[in-house]
């Protein structure tokens, strides 16, 4: 029962924080800097607006993908081993898919345009990257003796 509380707390916490930040930008906040801007962008695709041509179908494909990943995490006991990281991953993923159902697309707002132009992204994207990175780190750290042999 303890892992469920940790998982749900992380999921709900990340979802609420992400949606709150997005509302700030939807309500008109904007800031432009010389190399970083905070601007409202509705991303109709995924990273770098890929698959935007899928339009309405993309949100359903992402729901299916979240279900498959959830099943894999359950089957491989990753939910039990890493409930907080799993909660962060699913909270962020659900928040982005939620945007697709209630808004024009995923609300993105961080735009780096220093030495090069980068895709506009949001807090949920950072949390997805963070949780996957940490899960991979723990996986390889815990299996380093198997890799060496």
Considering 18, 32, 99, 108, which one is annotated as catalytic?
A: 108
Is 18 noted as a catalytic residue in this protein?
no
* CA 56 – CA 47 distance, rounded (Å): 16
What is the C-alpha to C-alpha distance for residues 18 and 39, in angstroms, rounded to an integer?
15
User: Is the separation of the CB atoms in 3 and 78 below 8 Å?
Assistant: no
Classified as helix, coil or strand, 20 is helix
State both tokens at 10: 């992380």
Choice among 18, 32, 99, 125 that is catalytic: 125
Based on the residue annotation, tell me whether 108 is a catalytic residue of this protein: yes
Check if the beta carbon of residue 101 is closer than 8 Å to that of residue 19.
no
* CA-based nearest residue to 95, from 19, 13, 25: 19
Enzyme catalytic residues: 108, 125
């Amino acid at each position: 029962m303890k892992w469920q509380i940790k998982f749900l707390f992380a999921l709900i916490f990340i979802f609420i924080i992400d949606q709150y930040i997005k509302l700030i930008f939807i309500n008109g906040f904007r800031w432009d800097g010389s190399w970083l801007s905070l601007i409202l962008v509705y991303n109709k695709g995924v990273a770098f607006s890929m698959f935007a041509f899928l339009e309405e179908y993309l949100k359903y494909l992402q729901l299916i993908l979240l279900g498959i990943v959830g099943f894999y995490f359950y089957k491989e006991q990753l939910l039990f081993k890493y409930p907080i990281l799993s909660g962060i991953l699913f909270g962020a993923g659900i928040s982005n898919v939620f945007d697709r159902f209630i808004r024009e697309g995923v609300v993105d707002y961080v735009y780096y345009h220093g030495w090069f132009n980068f895709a506009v992204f949001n807090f949920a994207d950072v949390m997805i990257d963070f949780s996957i990175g940490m899960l991979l780190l723990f996986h390889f750290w815990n299996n380093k003796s198997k890799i060496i042999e």
